[in-house]
Amino acid sequence: METVKDYFGSLVFNDKVMRETLSEDVYRSLKKTINEGAELDISVANAVASAMKEWAISKGATHYTHWFQPLTGITAEKHDSFVSPDGEDGIIMDFSGSELIMGEPDASSLPSGGLRATFEARGYTAWDPTSYAFIKGKTFCIPTAFCSYGGEALDQKTPLLRSMEALNKQALRILRLFGHRDVKRVWPDVGAEQEYFLLDRDMYKKRTDLVISGRTLFGAKPPKGQEMDDHYFGAIKPRVAEYMEDLNRELWKLGIMAKTEHNETAPSQHELAPVYSKANVAIDHNQLTMEIMGTVARRHGLVCLLNEKPFEGVNGSGKHNNWSISTDTGINLLSPGATPYENAQFLLFLCAVMKAVDDYQDLLRISVATAGNDHRLGASEAPPAIISMYLGDELSAVLKAFETDEVYHSEEQSFIRLGVDSLPDLPKDSTDRNRTSPLAFTGNKFEFRMPGSAGSLASANIMLNTAVAESLRIYADYLEKADDFEEALHGLVKHTVEEHGRILFSGNGYDEAWVKEATKRGLSNYPTTADCLPHLLDRKNVEMFARHGVYTERELRSRCEILLENYSKTEIIEANTMTLIARREILPAIEKFADDLSNTAMHKNELVPGLECLYEKQAVSKLSGLTDRIFGAVVTLEKAVNEEGDCSCNSGKAEIVRDRVLPAMRELRSACDEAESIVGSNCWPFPTYSELLYSVD
C-alpha cells in the first residue's frame, strides 16, 4: 500500500532529485546560487535545464511554464512544449539553460500601474532557484520573478526577495555584534494558516452574487449561525473529510507541508495550516494551495470560497501570517529562551519588531488593504483596523523593567494544574493568545492576523521584512559606534520601550474604549482601503523602501494606483451585481408573493365574507413599502456607480466608492434582507443563508 512517504514531493524537482540527476560540480554550483546568491554560469544552467527536462518528461510533463505572481493577486503562466523540430520531419524534446533562466511573456494585459503603456507589451520572467520547480498536470512549472522591459518589478516576488535580502543584510550586522561569526544567512520564516468555506456547488450556482463576486451581497440572518460554538474543532463531516484527504494528497505531492486541518468557527468554515518554511517558498506554496483548493473542491461537487467575508454576521476568513526570523545555523532569533530578561539578543530583535510596527503602522494596514478585507476587519475574531502588538504578561513585564530601570524578578515556570491525578501538569507558555490583536507574539514568532484569506501574503511580508530591516539598520549604526556595547544595548532597549511602548496593547480590540485610547496614544486608524492606501506614498515610506532597495518610488506609485483601482473595481462589480439581482430577481419575487397574498385574501373573503385577513393585509402593506424602498435604493446605487464612472482618477474613484457606493449598497441590502424574512420560501429566488451554510453533510 502506498504511503505518504512514498509520494511526498514526488512532483517536485527538489534537493533529493537534484542530487540524483546533477553532477557533483553542477549540484554544488547550483546550491551556491541558492544559498549564497552567487551568479549562475550558463553552462551550469544548461546542465540543470537538461536534467529538469528529462525528469519532468519521465513524470508525464509535455510543457513547461514560467510560473509567476503578477499584481493580480493570483498566479500566471504561459505554456510552451518541450517539442522542437529535429530537421528531419521529426521532433526532439528540448529545453535550454537560457529558456530556464529567462522567459518573455506578453505583459500588455497585466497590471502595471502606469509603469508602461499598454502597447509596451514586453516583460521578462527570471528563474527563482530558491523555490523548487514542480509539475502541475502536464506542465513543468518554474517559479520566477516578473519585471518590465525597463527592469521595474511587475510582480509580488521580486520585492519580496529584495525585502528578504534587506532583512538578511541588517540582521547579520546585529549578529556580528553578538559574536556570531559563523552565521552566513538570515531569513524570515512564514507559516500561512488558510481559512476557507466549503459550499455545495449546486447551491452556489443558484446565487448570482456568489458566482460573480465570490461573496453574498444579500442574505438575512439565519436562525442559527455560530452562536452555539458547536462547529469550531467539531467532528469533520464525511464529505468534508473526503475533500480534505484528497486536498492533502495533492498538496503533499507538491512538497507542501500541509499539517493541520479543522473546522473553523462559522458553519461550513474550515482551516488548513502548513509547517513553516522560508518566506518566499511559503508564499509560493500558499498561492498553489489556494488554486488546488478550488480544483479539488470541484471534484467533490463543492466550491471553495476564499473571499474574506462571504457571509454577513458570521466569521470571515483570514490568512494568519506566522512570522519569525531564522539563521542558517538553526537559531530562531525570536525565541526567548528560558530567561527572556537575560537573553539580550532576543530582546533587541523583539524591540526591532516593536519599533518597526509602531513606525510603520500605515504600511502594515496597507499590506492587508482590499475591498473584501475591509468588510472582515473589526469583528467576529478578525482584528480591528488599528495596528497594535500583544506580547503577553511576562514579556511586557520584562520590557517595563527596562523602562523603569528596575530589576525583573522572574518567577519559576508556572504550570497549569488540571486537578486530575492521571493527567500531567502542563507548562504554561510565556504568553496567552489575544484573538483581537493584529500582531501577537505567540512564543517564538509573531502572528499577524490581519491578512485576508483571498490574497497573496507577499505584501504583508514585504512590509514586515523591510520595516524590521530598517529598525535593525538604525540599531546597528548606533551599536557599531558604541564604546561600551552592553551599556549602549541596555539604553537602546530602554529607549525603544519608552518611545514605542504605545503600540503595545493587551485588551479587547473590539471595545469602543480602545478606539478612544488608540487616538489618545496617537495610533493610526484607517477603516477602509481608501483611507490607508494614499499613505503608501508618504515620504518616510518612499525613502525607507528606496534605502533598502525594495521598491523604487515609481514602483510604489504603480502599486498604489493598482490597489486603488482594484478596490474600486471590486466594489463597482458588487454594486452592479446587486442592482442586477434586485431588479431581475428580488423585486419580481416580492411582487409575486404579495400578489399571491392579495389573491389569497380575496379568495378567503369570497368564502367567508368580512374576514379580516390580518396576516395577508399587513404583509402586503409591509412588502409594498419595501418594494418602494428597494427601488429607491437601486436608483441611488446606480447614480453612485455612474458618479464613480465619471471620475477620472483612482483616488477620487476610491473616495466615491467609500462615501457614496458602499452606503447605498448597505441600504439596498438592508431592505432586501428584511423582505427575505417575509417572502415565502416558494417565491424567494435563491438559497438562503440557512440552506448555504448547512448544505454540506
- The CATH number of whichever domain residue 576 belongs to comes to 1.20.120.1560
Cα end-to-end distance, the chain, whole Å: 29
Q: What is the pLDDT of residues 680-695, one digit of tens each?
A: 999 999 999 999 999 8
Least confident of 54-63, 200-209, 336-345, 621-630: 336-345
120 — pLDDT class (breaks 50, 70, 90): low
pLDDT of the residue at 418: 34
Q: Which amino acid belongs to residue 139?
A: T
pTM, whole model, 2 decimals?
0.92
Is residue 121 pLDDT above 70, yes or no?
no
**Which range marks the domain in which residue 679 is found?**
567-693
d(CA 76, CA 66): 8
Do 349 and 288 sit in the same domain of this protein?
yes
Is residue 402 domain-resident?
yes
Last residue of a domain, one of 155, 181, 199: 155
> 214 near 250, Cβ under 8 Å?
no
Burial class (CB in 10 A: 0-12, 13-18, 19+), 499: middle
Is residue 536 domain-resident?
no
Is residue 417 domain-resident?
no
Closest CA to 342 of 283, 295, 408: 408
Average pLDDT over residues 154-171: 95
697 — pLDDT class (breaks 50, 70, 90): confident
Do 193 and 148 sit in the same domain of this protein?
no
pLDDT of the residue at 679: 95
Number of domains in the chain: 3
Is residue 496 domain-resident?
yes
In the chain, DSSP finds a helix count (H) and a strand count (E) of 25, 20
**Count of CB atoms situated within 10 Å of the CB of 630:** 24
The 8 Å CB, 24+ separation contacts for 403-410 are: 403/494, 403/497, 403/498, 403/501, 405/494, 408/341, 410/339, 410/340, 410/341
Place of cell 488548513: 272
412 — pLDDT class (breaks 50, 70, 90): low
d(CA 122, CA 117): 10
Last residue of a domain, one of 98, 132, 155: 155
Do 358 and 272 sit in the same domain of this protein?
yes
Task: Cell numbers for 40, please give them.
Answer: 549562475
Do 130 and 241 sit in the same domain of this protein?
no
Handedness of CA 466, 541, 383, 309 (dihedral sign): negative
User: Residue 415: beta bridge partners?
Assistant: 427
Do 130 and 187 sit in the same domain of this protein?
no
> 395 near 443, Cβ under 8 Å?
no
d(CA 149, CA 106): 11
Between 588 and 403, residue with greater pLDDT: 588
Burial class (CB in 10 A: 0-12, 13-18, 19+), 215: buried
pLDDT of the residue at 34: 84
Task: Cell numbers for 530, please give them.
Answer: 481608501
Do 54 and 124 sit in the same domain of this protein?
yes
Average pLDDT over residues 534-555: 97
Do 125 and 266 sit in the same domain of this protein?
no
Is residue 539 domain-resident?
no
Is residue 211 pLDDT above 90, yes or no?
yes
600 — pLDDT class (breaks 50, 70, 90): confident
d(CA 526, CA 533): 9
423 — pLDDT class (breaks 50, 70, 90): very low
Give the highest mean pLDDT range of 73-82, 86-95, 195-204.
195-204
d(CA 11, CA 25): 24
Do 324 and 450 sit in the same domain of this protein?
yes
pLDDT of the residue at 77: 86
> 214 near 204, Cβ under 8 Å?
no
Closest CA to 109 of 145, 141, 70, 158: 70
Is residue 325 pLDDT above 50, yes or no?
yes
Average pLDDT over residues 86-107: 74
Q: What is the pLDDT of residues 614-624, one digit of tens each?
A: 888 888 899 99
Average pLDDT over residues 544-557: 96
Closest CA to 365 of 496, 531, 501, 194: 531
**Count of CB atoms situated within 10 Å of the CB of 491:** 14
> 163 near 466, Cβ under 8 Å?
yes
Is residue 385 domain-resident?
yes
Least confident of 83-87, 516-520, 596-600: 83-87
d(CA 526, CA 353): 21
Q: What is the pLDDT of residues 26-35, one digit of tens each?
A: 999 999 888 8
**Count of CB atoms situated within 10 Å of the CB of 360:** 24
What separation in angstroms does the CA of 616 have from each of 42, 594, 601, 622, 628?
81, 8, 6, 10, 18
User: Which CATH number fits the domain that encloses residue 307?
Assistant: 3.30.590.10
Output DSSP code: residue 332. B
Last residue of a domain, one of 491, 522, 553: 522
Do 337 and 461 sit in the same domain of this protein?
yes
**Per-position b or e across 376-386, b if 16+ CB within 10 A of its CB:** bbbebbbbbbb
Average pLDDT score, the chain: 89
pLDDT of the residue at 147: 85
Least confident of 221-225, 269-273, 309-313, 389-393: 221-225
Output DSSP code: residue 479. H
User: Which CATH number fits the domain that encloses residue 146?
Assistant: 3.10.20.70
> 35 near 187, Cβ under 8 Å?
no
Is residue 562 domain-resident?
no
Half-sphere exposure of 379 (CA within 13 A, CB side): 14
Do 259 and 369 sit in the same domain of this protein?
yes
> 141 near 135, Cβ under 8 Å?
yes
DSSP string, 376-417: HTTSTTPPPSS--EE--HHHHHHHHHHHHT----PPPPPEE-
Is residue 458 domain-resident?
yes
Give the highest mean pLDDT range of 258-262, 305-309, 420-424, 595-599.
305-309
User: Residue 135: beta bridge partners?
Assistant: 140
Do 289 and 435 sit in the same domain of this protein?
yes
417 — pLDDT class (breaks 50, 70, 90): very low
Do 109 and 218 sit in the same domain of this protein?
no
